[in-house]
Amino acid sequence: MSLQGGKIPTLEEFRTLLRKHDLKVTGQRLAVHEAMINLGHASADMVVEEIRRQGPVKVTVASVYNILSQLADFRIYGRRLSANSKMYFDVNIGKHLHLYDRENHRYRDIMDDELMELVQAHLRRHKFKGFTVEDIDIQYIARPSRRGRTS
């Protein structure tokens, strides 16, 4: 089990993904992706804050939210609704699990191929009548321990 890895598209790969979906490569979309690379998992508000911190590109929360939603519709980003009812977007498109910090409302990616394989093997033996499982979403809900607390 590790906390690194997964698949985060570089800016160049992101351009290719946009073109593949017939989306224009715009300054705003690139700024959103750059912010997402830095943030990993973020709400529209957090992305706007990050873009404004970086400088020149002008954005509004509404336009950033629209860009994020559209990218999620094309499955370029993932979507996660947090326990404090905020929509978070996920830049990591690889298979991964999440550790959700319910005090700070932050997600951390967890790579655990062993668990993923166990679940997939389990699903091959246990089917749900009338349904096809398309995706697996595993999230650990945690709070920072008193000892070893970061930040």
- By CB under 5 A, tell whether 92 contacts Zn ion: yes
Reference 36, options 68, 61, 4; nearest CA is: 68
- The interface mask with Zn ion, positions 43-82, x = CB under 5 A, is ----------------------------------------
CB closer to Zn ion out of 51 and 97: 97
DSSP annotation of 24: -
Cβ 70 to Zn ion shortest distance, Å: 19
The set of residues, in sequence order, having a beta carbon less than 8 Å from that of 112 and lying 6+ positions away, is 1, 96, 97
- By CB under 5 A, tell whether 90 contacts Zn ion: yes
Sign for the CA dihedral angle at 97, 70, 104, 8 comes to positive
Cβ 6 to Zn ion shortest distance, Å: 7
- By CB under 5 A, tell whether 109 contacts Zn ion: yes
CB closer to Zn ion out of 1 and 129: 1
100 touches 140 (CB < 8 A): yes
